[in-house]
A and B are shown apart, each in its own frame.
Chain A
Amino acid sequence: MSNKTKLPVGQEAIEEFGWMYAHRFLLLRRATQFFFLAIFLLGPWFGIWWFKGNLSGSMTFNFLPLNDPFITVQSFAALHWPETTALIGAVIVGVIYALIGGRVYCSWVCPINPVTDGAHWIHEKLGMQKGWQPKHNTRYWILAMVVAVSAATGTIAWEFVNPISMLHRGLIFGMGFAWAFVVAVFLFDIFVSRRGWCGHLCPVGTFYGLLGTKSVVRISAVKRSECDDCMDCFAVCPEMHVISPALRGKDEDTALILSPDCTNCGRCIDVCAMDVFKFTHRFDDTPAPGRVQRTRTQPATGASKAA
């Protein structure tokens, strides 16, 4: 383990490139997350009705329908065949995320992401244990459960509790006590389970993850041979298990991060002082030699700083 492991996450990158550059994807993401909230507030706040609705369903310039495909799937399960407008909207959204990475929704759009990121920041500041960590496939069980409950109750089940729409719709149309769901997720992530909500439970993220299994846009650890084991990418990644196969791969293994769990958040790019990661596409076959085995043997698990 290199001595740099003990430095704060991203320290070297900040020293190397400056704070802004070492947070460029984080800042961009906060900007897009704000954007997808702000455009819907233009109407109620300023009377500019270019974008109507919310993340569940919207109408842009009275022309472009966009609909949440996961809600559409639940509607099918509840035996309602939506009208063409909603179907077109769902297909458009579905195709976009299938191409750019399903969980791009999580890190670039979802309004709960700043909440759980904030919770994680506090969680780290408090030096909490990682707490309850459900099995990796728990999220798929939950996804199946939601669809089953939709079918059993004949309703779009997740929308009764979904903290994402509670927050997004709440901010745009009025919240009531819906903030309680958001606070619950926030506290859950601080005290009960590290990265618990987005990383293990949220069926919306799981659905989008499945949608993006074959997505074109991917992160690659293309300069993995230069990795100096600072472990910052593992520490900053919300789904750190996705990094090892690419970063620690041998010459013949792909350097692409192909797990659908990767949210394409770009934080690994931000924090890496050695510039190992970059955004690319899944057909990128730039040769990416694995690391030369150092004389000093590396510990097998890369997550010591994060754990």
Chain B
Amino acid sequence: MSAHIRNTSSMDRRRFLQDSARGLTGCAVAGMGLAYFISDARALPAQALRPPGALSEPDFLAACIRCGLCVRDCPYDTLVLAELGEDGAATGTPYFTARDIPCEMCEDIPCVAACPTGALDKDLTNIDDADMGVAVLIDEETCLNALGLRCDVCYRVCPVIDEAITLERSHNERSGHHAIFMPTVHADKCTGCGKCEKSCVLPNEAAIKVLPRRIARADAADHYKLGWEDRNPLVDDLIDLPDRLPGPGTDNLVAPGGYLPATEGIPEASMDGGFNPGLKLPGTGGSN
């Protein structure tokens, strides 16, 4: 009898373990499927811009509950919730398409005020600090201003005119005696509202487009020091380094034999970066 009981209980345990293993495996497979689907579905197309104050995309998807309250409180019907299968953001999340309806940069930012979760960050209190994207003059071959005409529409409509977009004058090489007023976006001031893209007079696609910052901007090259920028210690140091000069053993073109009489071809000591007789020359030429 007791053997029988032990037997059933061990069978029960076996059964339990089997069921658990089955449940666990099934759920692990389903979970991986779900995770894969998510990684696929969260791709955000370049033309889908998030509302003002939206957290960075990964944080946004942890926060936005897709309630659409931001959509409801936008007075210009700028925002929409993405529908499944269209070329928008992850299903049900809010975005806007600048060419359809741009953001009017409401001063009281009602969309941010409406968001219950903080997916749109309440720290954004001045709409000029919004960063929905960056406008890029994407087609310099069709932009009318770039062709030397005076369209100027994107510049005129910009709510941050003369800061976010300026018209940069240059010589018109084609006509020889006109100017080109190039619409030029300054990324630190551009809010990505999309008014310029909406207003671009070209049919269909705009020559200026708002793109998410992650696409529009390249990282600054911090391994290059820009010598014209003020107070750059590394550059200041570099200026003091000795210039490479002809001397014995070098392959300097000025002195094919590696030897030059001291009186010829040496820059004036007074010239900037010129020869400084007080310096000791490097033996085989440095690489600076």
> Could you tell me which A residues sit within 8 Å of B by CB distance?
43, 49, 52-54, 56-59, 65, 67-68, 71-72, 75, 78-83, 85-86, 89, 135, 137-138, 141-142, 144-146, 148-149, 152-157, 159-161, 165-166, 169-170, 172-178, 180-181
Contacts and interface: CB of A to CB of B under 8 A. Distances in A.
B131 to A, nearest CB: 19
A83 B35 contact: no
B125 to A, nearest CB: 15
Contact of B67 (A54, A80, A181): A54
A58 B27 CA distance: 31
Given A157-B34, A161-B37, A176-B86, A59 B63 contact: no
Contacts of A169: 66, 68, 81, 92
Contact of B68 (A142, A160, A173): A173
A29 to B, nearest CB: 24
Nearest to A173: B81
Interface string B85-105: 110001110000000000000
Given A83-B118, A138-B26, 11 more contacts: A52-B68, A54-B68, A57-B116, A75-B62, A75-B117, A80-B117, A85-B116, A141-B24, A160-B90, A165-B66, A172-B68
Residue from B19, B28, B37, B72 with most neighbouring chain A CB atoms (10 Å): B72
27 contacts: A53-B67, A53-B69, A56-B66, A56-B67, A57-B116, A57-B117, A59-B114, A72-B65, A80-B63, A82-B116, A86-B117, A86-B118, A135-B23, A141-B26, A144-B27, A149-B31, A152-B35, A154-B61, A160-B38, A160-B41, A165-B66, A169-B68, A169-B81, A170-B83, A176-B84, A176-B85, A178-B91
B58 interface: yes
Contacts of B82: 176
B69 A82 contact: no
A176 B41 CA distance: 14
A136 to B, nearest CB: 10
Nearest to B69: A53
Contact of B116 (A67, A157, A159): A67
Most chain B CB within a 10 A radius of its CB, from A58, A79, A141, A170: A141
Contacts, number: 158
Contacts of B41: 160
A159 B66 contact: yes
Chain B at the A interface: SS class:
helix
B65 A68 contact: yes
B22 to A, nearest CB: 8
Most buried by A among B28, B61, B73, B80: B61
Contacts of B118: 80-83, 86
A155 B84 contact: no
A144 B31 CA distance: 10
Contact of B62 (A80, A166, A173, A181): A80
Contact of A174 (B22, B31, B42, B81): B81
Contacts of B62: 75, 78-80, 154-156
Contacts of B42: 155, 160
B122 interface: yes
Nearest to B83: A176
A166 B66 CA distance: 10
B241 interface: no
B117 A83 contact: yes
Given A83-B117, A155-B61, A161-B34, A137 B81 contact: no
A22 B124 CA distance: 56
A84 to B, nearest CB: 9
Contacts of A145: 27-28, 30-31, 34
